[in-house]
Every structure is written in structure tokens, then in C-alpha cells.
Structure 1
Amino acid sequence: MSPSGSTALTDWLDRQYAVAARNLTLGVSATHLVKERRPFRQRIVPKPGSVVASSVMGAYDPDPDYFFHWFRDSALVMDALRILVADGTRPAADAGHIRDFIRFSLGLRGLTGAAVLAKGDPRQGVDPDVVQHVRSEADLRGVAGDRVWGEVRVNPDGTLDTLNWSRPQHDGSALRALTLLRCLDDGLLEPGVRDEAAGLLRIDLDFVLAHHAEPSFEIWEDSLGHDYYTRVVQCAALRRGADWLEACGDSGTAGRCWEASAALAEALDGHWRAGAYASLLPAASGAMGRDLDIAVILGVLHAGLPAGPHSMLDPKAQATLAALEDLFVGLFPINAGRPAPALGRFREDRYYGGGAWYIATLAAAEFNYRLAAGVAGGAAFALTEDNRGFVVRVLGAEPGPEDLDSRRLVGALLARGDAFLATVRTFTPLDGALSEQIDRATGAQSSAKHLGWSYAGFITAVQARRRIAQI
């Protein structure tokens, strides 16, 4: 079945895909850039294999400073680059960036806070008006052993980030494991690099096994708790990792992965609330949780479970997307009269005005496309009381028996995905540059410019759309 939609939208998607493919690499191995954090007396020169979240030299002036190698963002960017090399959009030589990413990541193993302190007080010489943003000695001394993988981010020169941030975060190793598993499956890596990838993959799986039951800061780095996003990508990494370990002959570790993934799946089921999966469950009595949040949909996509609970075929995941659409239709003025709304993160979001995010709106498109691909491939689609509102949204009316015919349903899902990409097109400038956010009232771009994750989200959404034509 060919993708639906107008020729104009398809032509724009092809052009924008090429722009996104080019811009995705702006922050990859950006060894030609130098970041001066003068108030902190830091001079950062990226190493090969590092991935800066944004290559734009912000300093909250007003653009934020995203010149860091986030474990989460870098894994998602590398996964998108894998797709671009596999489909021929980027040259085969770009697989070298994946090789360098693996080697850069392996090089972080020995980082410790004690080594930073041995060189002197990191507060020494820092401007007095920013010294409160430097990590304490006690905080840094806690960075040892595998705790480095909960660091959230490092400097792209391979040194520890000495600034205060929300730590620990435990999604990065799981996402990197999933990216490595896909790279190994795709056959893009040379034999020696495959061995290095396997070594890094074992490190990541060991970290997930050791820390999956612990609370951590959630995907948006605001609140400590048990995060749906983190749990679902951990569950997927352990499931896929178990299969890989079995193939490698390590049935003992594979068994522990299966056991931990089952515990995570049970914990994920506990996130269900009336009408949607809650994003964040509090770590302690009296702590703050969060219900509706696009992080749930991003987690389902990034985990990529093929079927069952917490996949695109899960009626409760579909219900969550419908509830998010309802939320942002009423919350953002730019959505007035729009067939498919621009989506944000969560109701209380105020970061840079709490606008729509490209990755959130792209995620809605990708969800519909990947669900369409599943149905087109023969997966059973269940209509339940939970997902009835989602189905009505997709079909534009209450469903009759004939509407759940796979061909009709796939066509409707394709059209719904296209509606979300048409919304993205509306707020994309002629040069194709994608920032982090879209102002909720004016539609102007805001927050970080040239966000690598935004380009990665565009690439995976369009790839999901194109996959329909292959079924």
C-alpha cells in the first residue's frame, strides 16, 4: 500500500528528509567547533564520536546551552544516522561516525569524580555569580564505577560535566543498547567494530540489570520517580538483549535479562490510570508524579516492542495519544481549527514558554504510521472501550464493522499521520531548520536551534511512513 496524502506533502517530505539528514550530522563529531564557557573557565573541543545535542553556541542568552553529549540524545541521533546509511541517504562512510560513537562511549568507562577533584577544586576561578551551578565535592565523589552511565551527559571532549544537573537518569544505557542491537542486525559495522559494539552492549545491559528497579530523573530531567519512558525502553533493551545473549551462548545473563524485563513489564502495567498511562509515578509518599505526558508515546516508539502491552498495538497506548491530543487542542492557541494539533510535553510545562515540540508532534505521526504498518502486516487490531476515542479520531466517526477492515483502517491511520506531518510542515521554515519548540501562541520557533533530536524524530517518522509502501 502506498502512503496517502497529497503530492505536495510527499514532495515536501522528500525535500525535508534530505535537509534533516544533512542537519542531523551538524553535532556529530563536531571537532571543528570550540565551546567557551567563560564564566566557568571551560574550553570544550569535541572528540570524534561525540554528539552535541545542539551545535548552536547558546548560553541561555536566550538560547540554552546544549553543547553536551547527552546519552539519551546521542543514542537517538545515532539510530537515525543508522537509518540514513541503510537507506542510502547518507554515504556508507558515515558508518564511521557510528564506529567513533562506540569508541567515544567506551572511552568514558574510566571517568570518576575523584579524578576531577584530584586536579583541584572545580569551583576555583569560576565567576562568583555562577559558582552555585558547580557540583559539590560530595556529588562528584559519588561518580565511580558504573555510576558514570547515570550521569545523563558528559562534555563532548569526553570529560565529566561539572555543572549541577538532574542526576541520575537511567534511560541512556537502554537506548544505546537498542541502537547497538539494531546496528549489529543491520550489518553496517565492520568485524572489529562489531566486537567493540558487543563489548559496549554488554556494559549497557549490565547497567540496566543493576539499576532498573531504582528511581531516577525522568526524560525531561525535572522530577525523580519511576518513569514510564525509562521503564519501557529498559524493558525492550533487556528483551532484545536476552535474545542476543542467547545467540552468543550466554544463557545465564539472558535469563536474568528476561526476569528483569518481566518485572519491568509488570511495573509498566501499574502506570495505567483512567484513560491514559501515567508518565511518572512518585518515588516516595508525598512526592510529585505526572499523568499525561508525551513521554509515554515517545517511550512506546523508542522501545519498539512489536506487539502486546506498551506497543503501538496496545489500546491503552492509543488511548494515551488521544488524551494528549485533547489536552493540547485546548491548551495551545496555534491549534485552533487545525485537523491535527501540534503537541507539547505536559500540561504544566513552562520551559521556554512550554510550547509545542517538534519531537512530540512527529511522535504522533510516527505512532499512526507504525500502527498502520503493523495492521497492514497482519497484526490484529482490537477495538476496546479504552481506545474507542482514538479510533473515532482516526476514522472521523464512530466505527462500524466495515471500518475495522484492515485496508480501511490502514488508510485512515496513514491519513492521520499525514495530518500531523502537515502540522509540522506549517511550522517549519523554508530552510528546513528544526528547533526544539514552537511557540504555543505565535507559532515561531523557540528554545534550542538545530536540535539533533528534532531531526532524528523527523527521520524516523518519514521512515515509518515509507515502510507502508513496502508491505
Structure 2
Amino acid sequence: MQVSTCLFALCSAVLAAPRQENLLRRATGSLTSWLAAESPIALQGVLNNIGPNGVDAPGADSGMVVASPDQVNPDYFYSWTRDSALTFKCLTDQFLAYGTSGLEAQIRDYVNAQAAVQTIENPSGGLCTGGLGEPKFYLNQTAFFGPWGRPQRDGPALRATALIAYARYLISQGESSSVSSIIWPIVQNDLSYVTQYWNDTTFDLWEEIDSSSFWTTAVQYRALIEGNTLAGQIGESCSNCVSQAPNVLCFLQSYWNGEYIVANTGGGRSGKDSNTILASIHVFDPDASCDDNTFQPCSDKMLANHKVLTDSFRSIYSINSGISEGSGVAVGRYPEDTYQGGNPWYLCTMAAAELLYDAVYQWKRIGSLNVTSTSLAFFQAIYPSAAVGTYSSSSSTFDSIIDAVMTYGDSYMLIAVC
């Protein structure tokens, strides 16, 4: 199953947000009103897909996330490790930001469910023999033995990241003992898997190509860094995290071809793929610099990649006909996509906007932005007088470029929500 599609309005509101005064929906008013109306709907839609009480999760065990209630064409009535982790990372962020009632009980159910899921023997193996890379399970916590694209090595890393977010909260509440006895053993299993298998091929989040994957490598690096930090906070150690994280980061650089990120090393595609933007959003660090090595949203390589990727969809979807360069377009998974018609997807289109909002957040926090020869084409498409240089937040050019980037991000939102 591809990444869950009902989380954007819910999760993007936690930090990044569009410039709402410039967005007028063609049908129902401003984006401000749309976000206010959509956020509780999105949250309830997520909760509806979580067992045992979700209305779209009949028969699902407690804490198990239903990828989709659809059971035919295609049948996605299973629980994916990746989708579940992304869902609960979002719900944890929601809980930490807003204290949303009832979410902590759901998070605890997820922790308990994943402790059980890790031990299920499956076609990929057992707990210590590769089984953590199994992509999906039945909702009653039993193994699926049918043919599928396996293994999918992003799942353990994403689950570790989701659990680490909750563990940090527990530590802040004086519950380090609960982290040590309940959460750390699950996280440790996942980190051990990542350190053992990060350099092996994998099916990525689209489940179609068995190769090296930018998405997978990026999320694995984040898990190792955060996992090692958590270990230190509770008096544990993760020596393999320390030894392998630099190797993973080094390998992450190999996906850059000088113009854009080649998302998969196999499969005969161009490598232009929205999973690169989704990866940058996932590893987004609000306190980071515009780091090319981790492909932060404001880095020149990620901005260049954003332009190449989104431009690749301008001519292949009729909905994009007549839209000029410098305005947002409908974005799909990758330009060669044919699955279910190979259409644009609002998750990918909104991700194109979210990355830009994240970049603006970073520039404003840093107090300057850099235009380099690598990112120049991106900036000139939306601000034609842009030139290579560093622009301080005290300059009028900084303000003008920020306005242009925000307007550009808003234009993707207009495509997605109208």
C-alpha cells in the first residue's frame, strides 16, 4: 500500500502552513476555512481506520491500522508497517502539539500491537532473520503469505521514528522506565534490522521496484540518528547506530546525479519521483541548516529536484494544460506511472507545497537564504530577477523571494483542494 492519503491536512497544520490570505478556493472560500473544516474530518478519517473501534476497521485488532476499507480492485484491507508508522507519527505529533483528547490511548494501543507484530513469523523471516521487513499483515495480527513486493525495508525505520517521538514525550513526563521496558525493546529490534540490511535492495513505498531507494535510505538515516539519541537518554547504547549512520548518509549522496535525485537505482525509469519530496518532508528538521547532505527542504539540491520533478508532470496530465512555469501543477508519483491510470495524486501535489512551506520556515529561522548555481533555475522560475548570492532577512530581496516561494506553494494547494 502506498503512503496513507488522508494525513496531509492533519499533519501539515502542526508546523508548516500556507499563506492563507492569498488563497481563495473557487468553490467554498479561503484556505483558512478549508483547513479549519478539513482538519477534524481528516483526524476522524484516520481514527476510523484504526482497530478495534474504527468504523472502517471491522475485525481489526487494537492498534492495527487499516490501509483502506476497500477489499476489491484493489484489496488494501491489511495493515502495512509503513502506513501504520506514518499514521502514528502524525497522530503523535498531533497529540504533542495540541493534546488532542483520546490520542494517547490510541498511541499506546499501537505500541502494544507493534510489539506483537514484530514477533510474527512471515514470508520474509522471523524477528531475527529478516521478518521485520515484511510489508503487511492481516488485521488480526497474522502473517500474509500471498505474493507481494517484499521485503520493504523502510517499515522498521519508520516504526522506530514513530515510537521514538512518543518515547521522548514519556521521558519528559518522568516515565523513562516505561520507555526502557516497553518502547526501547521494539525500537532496538528495528534499529538492529536497519543496521543489518540498509545496504540491501528493497521494494520502496510504491512497492513496484526492487532496488536501492532514496526514500528508504533517507528514513533509515533518520531512525539511526534519533535511535542513538534515545539510547543515550535512557542509559542504553546503540553502537551499530553510531558505526552505520555515517555509511548510510554517505550512500544517500549517491542518489544525486547533478541535476536531480534519482529515486530508484533500478527499474528503467528516469528516477524522477515524488518519494524524494516525501522523504525530504519526513527528514525535515526545523532546527537544521539548509543541509544538502540530508536533503533538507531549503537545501539547493532539494529545491533543484523539486523543479525537475514537478516540471516532469506539466505535459503529461491534461489538468496541467496551459499552466505556466512558476505556477503549481498537479503532481503524480512519477512520470512513467501507469498504476490505476497513472493519475495525479493530491498527496503528492500537497507534498510539493509542504516542502516549500518547510523551506520558508527554515529560511526565516536562519535569517537568510542562499541562491546557488544549483538552485538558481528553481528561484528564477518564480522570481525572474533572482541571482546567485546570499540574501539576509533584513533585505527587501529576501522578502520578495519568500513571497514568491509562498505564492508558489499556495498554487499547488489551489490545484489540490479546488
Common fold: TM-score over 0.5: yes
* Whole-Å separation in 1 of the counterparts to 2:62 and 2:385: 54
**Aligned counterparts of 1:412 and 1:158: Cα–Cα separation in 2:** 49
Task: Give the paired residue count.
Answer: 380
Could you tell me how far 1:343 is from its partner in structure 2? 0.4
- Give 2:213's aligned amino acid: D
Task: Give the structure 2 partner of residue 218 of structure 1.
Answer: 204
TM-score (normalised: structure 2): 0.84
Letter in 1 for 2:38: Q
Deviation at 1:333, TM superposition (A): 0.7
Which whole-Å CA distance do the structure 2 matches of 1:14 and 1:337 have between them?
A: 31
Residue 347 of structure 1, CA deviation: 1.4
Amino acid at match of 1:330: S
CA apart distance, 1:380: 4.8
How far 1:34 sits from its partner (Å)? 8.7
Cα deviation digits, residues 333-362 of structure 1 (max 9, x gap): 111244311100111100110011122111
**Residue in structure 1 matched with residue 145 of structure 2 by the alignment:** 162
From 95, 106, 113, the counterpart of 1:97: 106
* Aligned residue among 52, 65, 68 for 1:51: 65
SS at match of 2:212: strand
Do the aligned partners of 2:48 and 2:54 also contact (CA within 8 Å) in 1?
no
Question: Are positions 1:295 and 2:275 aligned together?
Answer: yes
Question: 2:212–2:265: 8 Å Cα contact kept in structure 1?
Answer: yes
Structure 1 length as normaliser, TM-score? Answer: 0.75
- What SS is found at the alignment partner of 1:273? coil
> Which residue in 1 is equivalent to 2:160?
177
Residue 460 of structure 1 aligns with which residue? none
Equivalent position SS for 1:53: coil
Closer, same or farther in 2 for the Cα pair 1:183/1:380, shift >3 Å?
A: farther
Cα offset for 1:316? 0.9
The one-letter code of the counterpart of 2:144 is D
- The answer to whether the aligner puts 1:247 opposite 2:230 as a matched pair is no
Other-structure match for 2:220:
234
- Partner Cα separation in structure 2 for residue 3 and residue 371 of structure 1: 12
Residue matched to 2:415: 423
When the two chains are superposed, the root-mean-square deviation of aligned CA atoms in Å is 2.6
1:403 to 1:69, Cα distance in 2 relative to 1, 3 A: same
Distance in structure 2 (CA, Å) of the matches to 1:2 and 1:344: 22
Q: Secondary structure at the match of 2:200?
A: coil
Q: Give the stretch that moved more between structures: 346-355 or 266-275.
A: 266-275
Secondary structure of the structure 2 residue equivalent to 1:213: coil
- Once the two structures are superposed, the pairs formed by residues 25-424 of structure 1 within 5 Å of their partners are 25-31=47-53, 45-54=59-68, 56-60=69-73, 64-88=74-98, 90-91=100-101, 93-113=102-122, 140=123, 142-143=125-126, 145-187=128-170, 191=175, 194=179, 195-251=181-237, 253=238, 255-282=239-266, 288=268, 290-305=270-285, 306-307=288-289, 308=291, 309=293, 310-338=295-323, 339-378=327-366, 380-395=368-383, 397-400=384-387, 404-406=391-393, 407-408=398-399, 409-424=401-416
Question: Is contact 1:344–1:360 with CA below 8 Å preserved after alignment?
Answer: yes
- Report the residue type matching 2:84 in the other structure: S
Q: Distance in 2 between matches of 1:80 and 1:322?
A: 27
Point out where structure 1 has 5 or more consecutive residues left out of the alignment.
36-43, 114-139, 427-471
Kindly provide the amino acid, as one letter, of the partner of residue 298 in structure 2. L
The structural deviation recorded for 1:379 is 5.8
- Cα 1:33–1:266 shift into 2, 3 Å: same
Q: Tell me if the contact between 1:33 and 1:45 (Cα under 8 Å) persists in the aligned partners.
A: no
State the alpha-carbon separation in 1 of the partners of residues 304 and 17 from structure 2.
26
Gaps of 5+ in 2: 1-15, 24-29
Distance 1:370 1:72, change over 3 A: same
Aligned partners of 2:206, 2:258: CA distance in 1, in Å? 23
